[in-house]
C-alpha cells in the first residue's frame, strides 16, 4: 500500500511546489511508482511535470466537488513512473463550494482509496492556506512534510500549521505524523542561513532532514520548461540534493510503516 505524504505550509513561496515536483520525480527515478496530487488552484505542480493545464477539462476539482473517480482525472507526466492528478484554476471555487457538503474534510481521502494500492508514494502539493483543501490533504495523509525557507521569521506561522495538524489528528486522522521538516532555499554565503538552520533544529530536532535544499538558479528555471530538475539539469546541485532527500524519505517510509 502506498504512503501518502502532504507537503504543507500556509506561507506562500517556501518551496512546497518545487519540493512536491522534485521529490516525486526523484522517487520515480529511483524506481518507485509515484502519484503527485496537485491541490493548489495555481496548478504549478501540474505544469511543473509537463502537463498543460489548458488541455484539461477535468481536474481534482471534479473529484472533490462532483465525486468523479480519481482514476478518471489521473494522467501520465513527462517523467517515467510518475502520474499526476492535475489542478486548474477551476479548483479556486472548491474552498467555498465544499463548505456546505457532507464529509467535506474526507473527500480526498476517500477519492485516493481506490488508487492507494497502485503506487508506492502519493505526494500531495498543498495550497498556501489552512483552508479545506489543506485539511483534506492532511486528512488523507500518513505523514506531512513541512518546508521551511531559510530566511528571517522562518518559524513564524508554524504554530498555526502545527495547531491545524493537531486538530486534524484529534478529529479526522489520528495516525497523521510529521514526516519531517525540510529547510529550503539556503544561501550558504550568508550567516543568516546558518542561524536559521540552528533555530529550526533546536525546535524540531531530529525531525529536520539532513538534506538541505540550496538556493539554486536551475531549480527556479526548470518549471518554465515543464520539467523537474532531474531531467532539466541532472548534474545541478538542486538535482543532487532532491535525490538525497528522496532517499531519506524512502528510509523514513520504512520506519513509519
Q: Which residues pair with 85 in a beta bridge?
A: 37
Stretch that binds Mg ion, among 10-18, 102-110, 176-184, 206-214 (CB under 5 A): 10-18
Residue 232 CA from chain centroid, whole number? 20
Q: How far is the CB of 206 from Mg ion (least distance, A)?
A: 27
> Angle at Cα 163 formed by Cα 115 and Cα 212, nearest 5°?
70
For the record, the C-alpha cell of 84 comes out as: 499526476
Closest CA relative to residue 98, chosen from 137, 127, 61: 61
Q: Is 13 in the site for ligand ADP (CB under 6 A)?
A: yes
Q: Is 11 in the site for Mg ion (CB under 5 A)?
A: no
Stretch that binds ligand ADP, among 82-90, 162-170, 216-224, 244-252 (CB under 6 A): 216-224
Nearer to ligand ADP, 115 or 127 (CB): 127
Stretch that binds ligand ADP, among 12-20, 51-59, 60-68, 156-164 (CB under 6 A): 12-20
- Non-local CB neighbours of 67 within 8 Å, separated by 6+ positions: none
Q: Which residues pair with 34 in a beta bridge?
A: 82, 121
Residue 216 interacts, among Mg ion, ligand ADP, none and using kind-specific CB cut-offs from 5 to 8 Å, with: ligand ADP
Stretch that binds ligand ADP, among 97-105, 155-163, 168-176, 217-225 (CB under 6 A): 217-225
- Non-local CB neighbours of 1 within 8 Å, separated by 6+ positions: 116, 117
Q: Is 17 in the site for Mg ion (CB under 5 A)?
A: yes
Nearer to ligand ADP, 19 or 29 (CB): 19
Closest CA relative to residue 25, chosen from 95, 63, 89, 77: 77
> Angle at Cα 64 formed by Cα 26 and Cα 86, nearest 5°?
35
Residues in 29-88 that interact with Mg ion by CB under 5 A: 40
Which positions lie near ligand ADP, rule CB under 6 A? 12-18, 44, 128, 184-185, 213, 215-216, 219-220, 223
Amino acid at each position: 500500500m502506498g504512503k501518502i505524504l502532504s507537503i504543507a505550509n500556509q506561507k506562500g513561496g517556501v518551496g512546497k511546489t518545487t519540493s512536491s515536483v522534485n521529490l516525486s520525480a526523484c522517487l520515480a527515478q529511483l524506481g518507485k511508482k509515484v502519484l503527485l496530487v496537485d491541490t493548489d488552484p495555481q496548478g504549478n505542480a501540474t505544469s511543473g511535470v509537463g502537463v498543460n493545464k489548458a488541455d484539461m477539462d477535468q481536474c481534482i476539482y471534479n473529484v472533490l466537488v462532483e465525486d468523479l473517480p480519481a482514476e478518471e482525472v489521473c494522467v501520465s507526466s513527462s517523467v517515467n513512473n510518475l502520474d499526476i492528478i492535475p489542478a486548474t484554476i477551476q479548483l479556486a471555487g472548491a474552498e467555498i463550494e465544499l463548505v456546505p457538503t457532507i464529509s467535506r474534510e474526507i473527500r480526498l481521502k476517500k477519492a485516493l482509496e481506490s488508487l492507494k494500492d497502485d503506487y508506492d508514494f502519493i505526494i500531495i502539493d498543498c495550497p498556501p492556506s489552512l483552508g479545506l483543501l489543506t485539511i483534506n490533504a492532511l486528512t488523507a495523509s500518513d505523514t506531512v512534510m513541512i518546508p521551511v525557507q531559510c530566511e528571517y521569521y522562518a518559524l513564524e506561522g508554524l504554530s498555526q500549521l502545527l495547531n491545524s495538524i493537531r486538530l486534524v489528528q484529534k478529529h479526522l486522522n489520528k495516525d497523521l505524523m510529521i514526516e519531517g521538516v525540510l529547510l529550503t532555499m539556503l544561501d550558504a554565503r550568508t550567516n543568516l542561513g546558518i542561524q536559521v538552520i540552528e533555530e529550526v533544529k533546536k525546535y524540531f530536532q531530529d525531525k529536520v532532514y539532513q538534506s538541505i535544499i540550496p538556493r539554486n538558479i536551475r531549480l527556479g528555471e526548470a518549471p518554465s520548461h515543464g520539467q523537474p530538475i532531474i531531467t532539466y539539469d541532472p548534474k545541478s546541485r538542486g538535482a543532487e540534493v532532491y535525490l538525497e532527500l528522496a532517499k531519506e524519505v524512502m528510509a523514513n517510509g520504512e520506519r513509519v510503516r
